[in-house]
A = this chain, B = another copy of it.
Amino acid sequence: MFAEIVADRHRQERTGVGEVVYGQGKSLDQIAAAIEALRDAHPVLVTRLAAAHGPALRERFPDGCLWPEAGLFCVGRDICAPCPETEAEVAIVTAGTTDLPVAREALGAARFFGLKAHLVADVGVAGIHRLMAHLDTLRRARVVIAVAGMEGALPSVLGGLVQAPLIAVPTSTGYGASFGGLAALLAMLNSCAPGIGVVNIDNGFGAAALARKILGAGAQIRVEAPAACQGAGE
């Protein structure tokens, strides 16, 4: 009988992004086993963690960092320490409040990768002045991640305002003819602003991984010790 978890402990060296644990559909025991298999090699991030598993995981790994609103759990790194808006190298922008869980997944994962990330929320294009108020932050960032559901117009507007590479994350926010995020996905792929990289619907983690790759293997990675995780901060 083979072990279900075949840890790919060298992935980080090969690809710059270590293996993480995709929590959806996994039992608590499967997740815990995966953490054990990887934690010697490097810090471990669990994504798409069911709400019910959170407290139990924290009991097993008391030094772990749990962020329920983001569906994240992390061992070996603090993914909850906020970063001041003025220092953000990754700006994560979200159109509406229902896009927040996906944006938080991106935010926590970016921190897991050692990046200084900040979340600018609720600046959808139907109130363009709200976006403009954060223009300095967005122009200072070295990567901008735009998270939007419904009509997915945010990246197009941002694409005309900033020089940084732009990563677009469609979300499944919406109803009816949003078809589970298809409308936002198609909009982002067809953006008239050139130079936007699109990831899968609701894939906040993937956006953070691409940001990590963009900011480079050679860059100085800042890793805070998880000494004092105090719950999620934004």
Contact = CB atoms under 8 A, between A and B. Distances in A.
Interface in A157-182: 157, 159-167, 170, 172, 174-182
A233 to B, nearest CB: 6
Contact of A167 (B1, B172, B182, B197): B197
A6 interface: yes
Contacts of A164: 213, 217
Given A8-B127, A130-B8, A15 B122 contact: no
A176 B201 contact: yes
A174 B160 contact: no
Given A194-B206, A209-B194, A11 B189 contact: no
A59 interface: no
Given A128-B128, A195-B213, A206-B196, A177 B185 contact: yes
A97 B27 CA distance: 12
A130 B3 CA distance: 14
Contacts of A32: none
Contacts of A165: 210, 213-214
A12 to B, nearest CB: 9
A182 B186 contact: yes
B15 A98 contact: no
Interface of A: 1-2, 4-6, 8, 11, 14-17, 20, 22, 24-26, 30, 82, 95-98, 100, 119-128, 130, 142, 150-153, 156-157, 159-167, 170, 172, 174-203, 205-206, 209-210, 212-214, 216-217, 233-234
Given A166-B213, A176-B185, A186-B187, 4 more contacts: A15-B159, A17-B195, A150-B190, A195-B209
